[in-house]
Protein backbone atom coordinates (compact mmCIF):
# COMPACT_ATOMS: atom_id res chain seq x y z
CA UNK A 1 0.00 0.00 0.00
CA UNK A 2 1.50 3.28 -1.10
CA UNK A 3 1.75 5.93 1.57
CA UNK A 4 2.40 9.63 1.50
CA UNK A 5 3.63 11.49 4.55
CA UNK A 6 3.43 15.20 5.20
CA UNK A 7 4.09 17.35 8.22
CA UNK A 8 0.63 18.59 9.19
CA UNK A 9 1.96 21.96 10.37
CA UNK A 10 0.77 24.61 10.70
CA UNK A 11 3.54 26.28 8.77
CA UNK A 12 3.47 30.00 9.38
CA UNK A 13 5.30 32.44 7.13
CA UNK A 14 5.10 36.21 6.73
CA UNK A 15 3.76 37.73 3.55
CA UNK A 16 6.42 37.85 0.85
CA UNK A 17 8.46 34.97 2.26
CA UNK A 18 9.14 31.59 0.68
CA UNK A 19 7.03 28.73 2.00
CA UNK A 20 8.52 25.25 1.73
CA UNK A 21 6.25 22.23 1.95
CA UNK A 22 7.59 18.71 1.99
CA UNK A 23 6.26 15.27 1.24
CA UNK A 24 7.81 11.81 1.42
CA UNK A 25 6.47 8.68 -0.20
CA UNK A 26 6.86 5.00 0.48
CA UNK A 27 6.89 3.39 -2.95
CA UNK A 28 10.17 3.82 -4.78
CA UNK A 29 8.35 2.92 -7.99
CA UNK A 30 6.06 5.96 -7.84
CA UNK A 31 6.39 7.89 -11.06
CA UNK A 32 4.45 11.09 -10.61
CA UNK A 33 3.42 13.43 -7.87
CA UNK A 34 0.65 15.95 -7.56
CA UNK A 35 0.27 19.00 -5.37
CA UNK A 36 -3.27 20.05 -4.56
CA UNK A 37 -4.42 23.06 -2.60
CA UNK A 38 -7.48 22.81 -0.38
CA UNK A 39 -9.10 25.79 1.24
CA UNK A 40 -11.04 25.08 4.40
CA UNK A 41 -14.33 23.38 3.58
CA UNK A 42 -13.58 23.30 -0.14
CA UNK A 43 -12.45 20.69 -2.61
CA UNK A 44 -8.87 20.00 -3.65
CA UNK A 45 -7.62 21.86 -6.70
CA UNK A 46 -4.52 20.95 -8.64
CA UNK A 47 -1.56 23.30 -8.42
CA UNK A 48 0.96 21.27 -10.37
CA UNK A 49 2.38 17.84 -11.02
CA UNK A 50 5.93 16.62 -11.44
CA UNK A 51 7.39 13.36 -12.70
CA UNK A 52 11.01 14.14 -13.55
CA UNK A 53 13.81 14.56 -11.05
CA UNK A 54 14.68 18.16 -10.44
CA UNK A 55 12.65 21.34 -10.40
CA UNK A 56 9.51 22.38 -12.21
CA UNK A 57 8.39 25.99 -12.04
CA UNK A 58 4.94 27.45 -12.62
CA UNK A 59 4.62 31.10 -11.68
CA UNK A 60 5.29 31.49 -7.96
CA UNK A 61 5.25 27.72 -7.44
CA UNK A 62 8.18 25.35 -7.81
CA UNK A 63 7.92 21.62 -7.34
CA UNK A 64 11.08 19.69 -6.59
CA UNK A 65 11.43 15.94 -6.95
CA UNK A 66 14.21 13.74 -5.61
CA UNK A 67 13.41 10.13 -6.43
CA UNK A 68 16.57 8.77 -4.80
CA UNK A 69 15.52 10.24 -1.46
CA UNK A 70 11.81 9.69 -2.12
CA UNK A 71 10.70 13.21 -1.40
CA UNK A 72 8.91 15.90 -3.25
CA UNK A 73 8.56 19.49 -2.16
CA UNK A 74 6.60 22.56 -3.12
CA UNK A 75 8.05 26.04 -2.80
CA UNK A 76 5.80 29.07 -2.86
CA UNK A 77 7.65 32.30 -3.52
CA UNK A 78 6.35 35.70 -2.48
CA UNK A 79 3.72 34.07 -0.28
CA UNK A 80 0.40 35.89 -0.08
CA UNK A 81 -2.35 35.66 2.54
CA UNK A 82 -4.50 34.07 -0.19
CA UNK A 83 -2.04 31.16 -0.21
CA UNK A 84 -3.21 30.22 3.28
CA UNK A 85 -4.66 26.75 2.79
CA UNK A 86 -3.85 23.09 3.25
CA UNK A 87 -1.50 21.65 0.64
CA UNK A 88 -1.99 18.03 -0.26
CA UNK A 89 0.63 15.80 -1.81
CA UNK A 90 -0.73 12.89 -3.84
CA UNK A 91 0.61 9.95 -5.81
CA UNK A 92 -1.22 7.58 -8.14
CA UNK A 93 -1.93 4.24 -6.53
CA UNK A 94 -1.40 0.89 -8.18
CA UNK A 95 -4.76 1.14 -9.88
CA UNK A 96 -6.88 4.18 -10.54
CA UNK A 97 -6.81 5.92 -7.17
CA UNK A 98 -4.93 8.95 -6.01
CA UNK A 99 -3.30 8.43 -2.62
CA UNK A 100 -3.25 11.64 -0.62
CA UNK A 101 -1.14 12.72 2.29
CA UNK A 102 -2.82 14.35 5.24
CA UNK A 103 -1.70 17.76 4.05
CA UNK A 104 0.29 20.65 5.44
CA UNK A 105 -1.59 23.71 6.63
CA UNK A 106 0.05 26.96 5.54
CA UNK A 107 -0.71 30.26 7.19
CA UNK A 108 0.60 33.44 5.57
CA UNK A 109 0.39 36.50 7.76
CA UNK A 110 0.15 40.03 6.38
CA UNK B 1 -14.69 26.13 -17.70
CA UNK B 2 -16.14 22.63 -17.31
CA UNK B 3 -16.66 21.51 -13.75
CA UNK B 4 -17.84 18.59 -11.67
CA UNK B 5 -21.06 19.41 -9.86
CA UNK B 6 -22.40 17.70 -6.76
CA UNK B 7 -25.75 17.79 -5.04
CA UNK B 8 -26.74 18.36 -2.36
CA UNK B 9 -24.03 20.50 -0.79
CA UNK B 10 -25.09 19.41 2.67
CA UNK B 11 -27.19 16.44 3.77
CA UNK B 12 -28.28 15.58 7.28
CA UNK B 13 -29.65 12.10 7.81
CA UNK B 14 -30.70 9.83 10.64
CA UNK B 15 -28.52 6.87 11.46
CA UNK B 16 -29.71 3.81 9.57
CA UNK B 17 -31.23 5.78 6.72
CA UNK B 18 -30.20 5.47 3.10
CA UNK B 19 -28.63 8.43 1.34
CA UNK B 20 -27.80 9.07 -2.28
CA UNK B 21 -25.16 11.58 -3.22
CA UNK B 22 -25.25 12.87 -6.75
CA UNK B 23 -22.55 14.04 -9.11
CA UNK B 24 -22.38 15.22 -12.68
CA UNK B 25 -18.84 14.60 -13.97
CA UNK B 26 -17.26 16.60 -16.75
CA UNK B 27 -18.98 15.50 -19.93
CA UNK B 28 -16.07 14.08 -21.92
CA UNK B 29 -14.40 12.40 -18.96
CA UNK B 30 -14.35 8.63 -18.78
CA UNK B 31 -13.26 7.85 -15.21
CA UNK B 32 -15.30 8.82 -12.19
CA UNK B 33 -14.39 8.62 -8.54
CA UNK B 34 -15.71 9.06 -5.05
CA UNK B 35 -13.44 10.19 -2.24
CA UNK B 36 -14.31 11.07 1.31
CA UNK B 37 -12.67 13.29 3.89
CA UNK B 38 -13.56 12.95 7.54
CA UNK B 39 -13.12 16.27 9.31
CA UNK B 40 -9.46 16.94 10.01
CA UNK B 41 -8.30 13.82 8.19
CA UNK B 42 -6.90 12.96 4.80
CA UNK B 43 -8.78 12.64 1.54
CA UNK B 44 -9.46 8.91 1.13
CA UNK B 45 -10.24 7.02 -2.05
CA UNK B 46 -13.48 5.06 -2.07
CA UNK B 47 -14.14 3.85 -5.59
CA UNK B 48 -13.45 4.42 -9.25
CA UNK B 49 -15.84 3.74 -12.10
CA UNK B 50 -15.13 3.22 -15.77
CA UNK B 51 -17.15 1.88 -18.65
CA UNK B 52 -20.20 1.40 -16.44
CA UNK B 53 -18.51 -0.75 -13.87
CA UNK B 54 -16.38 -0.41 -10.77
CA UNK B 55 -12.74 -0.26 -11.72
CA UNK B 56 -11.29 -0.25 -8.24
CA UNK B 57 -12.54 0.07 -4.68
CA UNK B 58 -10.89 0.58 -1.33
CA UNK B 59 -11.40 -1.28 1.92
CA UNK B 60 -13.72 1.51 3.02
CA UNK B 61 -16.12 0.75 0.17
CA UNK B 62 -17.94 -2.17 1.76
CA UNK B 63 -21.37 -3.65 1.07
CA UNK B 64 -23.07 -0.58 2.49
CA UNK B 65 -21.84 1.45 -0.45
CA UNK B 66 -22.80 1.27 -4.08
CA UNK B 67 -22.29 3.43 -7.15
CA UNK B 68 -24.33 3.82 -10.26
CA UNK B 69 -24.45 5.79 -13.45
CA UNK B 70 -28.18 5.79 -13.98
CA UNK B 71 -28.10 7.89 -17.15
CA UNK B 72 -25.57 9.56 -19.42
CA UNK B 73 -24.70 12.34 -17.03
CA UNK B 74 -25.23 11.45 -13.37
CA UNK B 75 -22.97 9.39 -11.14
CA UNK B 76 -24.31 8.46 -7.73
CA UNK B 77 -23.01 7.11 -4.45
CA UNK B 78 -25.51 5.30 -2.26
CA UNK B 79 -24.97 4.48 1.38
CA UNK B 80 -27.59 1.92 2.38
CA UNK B 81 -27.70 2.23 6.14
CA UNK B 82 -25.74 5.20 7.38
CA UNK B 83 -23.61 5.09 10.50
CA UNK B 84 -22.32 7.94 12.59
CA UNK B 85 -18.83 7.31 11.25
CA UNK B 86 -20.04 7.94 7.70
CA UNK B 87 -20.20 11.63 8.55
CA UNK B 88 -17.69 13.24 6.21
CA UNK B 89 -17.26 15.39 3.14
CA UNK B 90 -17.75 13.29 0.03
CA UNK B 91 -16.02 14.42 -3.13
CA UNK B 92 -16.79 13.27 -6.62
CA UNK B 93 -14.01 13.57 -9.18
CA UNK B 94 -13.50 12.80 -12.83
CA UNK B 95 -10.60 12.39 -15.22
CA UNK B 96 -10.49 12.13 -19.02
CA UNK B 97 -8.29 9.04 -18.84
CA UNK B 98 -6.93 6.67 -16.25
CA UNK B 99 -4.64 8.64 -13.94
CA UNK B 100 -1.16 8.81 -15.39
CA UNK B 101 1.86 11.01 -14.80
CA UNK B 102 0.10 14.20 -15.82
CA UNK B 103 -3.62 13.58 -15.47
CA UNK B 104 -5.51 16.21 -13.54
CA UNK B 105 -8.36 14.97 -11.40
CA UNK B 106 -11.19 17.51 -11.25
CA UNK B 107 -13.08 17.53 -7.98
CA UNK B 108 -16.61 18.63 -7.29
CA UNK B 109 -17.32 21.04 -4.46
CA UNK B 110 -18.31 18.18 -2.17
CA UNK B 111 -21.32 17.02 -0.21
CA UNK B 112 -21.08 17.34 3.54
CA UNK B 113 -22.90 14.36 5.02
CA UNK B 114 -23.90 14.56 8.66
CA UNK B 115 -25.32 11.44 10.27
CA UNK B 116 -27.19 12.07 13.51
Nearest CA in chain B to A30: B101
More confident call, B112 vs B1: B112
Write b or e for each residue in A37-71: b if 16 or more Cβ atoms lie within 10 A of its Cβ, otherwise e.
bbeeeebbebbbbbbeeeeeeeeebbbbbebeeeb
Minimal C-alpha gap between B104 and chain A (Å): 7
Residue B32, pLDDT above cutoff 90: yes
Q: Do A102 and B41 touch (CB under 8 A)?
A: yes
* Nearest CB neighbour to B101, from listed A32, A100, A102: A32
Sheet holding B19-24, edge to edge: B5-7, B19-24, B75-79, B65-68
Average pLDDT value over all residues in chain B = 96
Task: Measure CA of the first residue to CA of the last residue in chain B; give whole Å.
Answer: 36
- Contacts B32 to A, Cβ<8 Å: none
Q: Are A66 and A46 in contact (CB under 8 A)?
A: no
Give the whole-angstrom CA distance, residue B88 versus residue B38.
4
B76-116 pLDDT, tens digit per residue, is 999 999 999 999 999 999 999 998 888 999 999 999 999 99
C-alpha to C-alpha distances, A96 to A90, B61, B65, B78, nearest whole angstrom: 13, 15, 18, 20
A60-86 pLDDT, tens digit per residue, is 999 999 999 999 999 999 999 999 999
pLDDT band at A2 (very low <50, low <70, confident <90, very high): confident
Residue A50, pLDDT above cutoff 80: yes
Amino acid sequence: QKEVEQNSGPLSVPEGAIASLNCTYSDRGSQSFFWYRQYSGKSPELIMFIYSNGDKEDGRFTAQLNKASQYVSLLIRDSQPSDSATYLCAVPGAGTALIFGKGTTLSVSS
Amino acid sequence: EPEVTQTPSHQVTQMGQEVILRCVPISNHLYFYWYRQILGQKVEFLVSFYNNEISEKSEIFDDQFSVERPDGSNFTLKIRSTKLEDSAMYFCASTPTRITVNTEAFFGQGTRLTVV
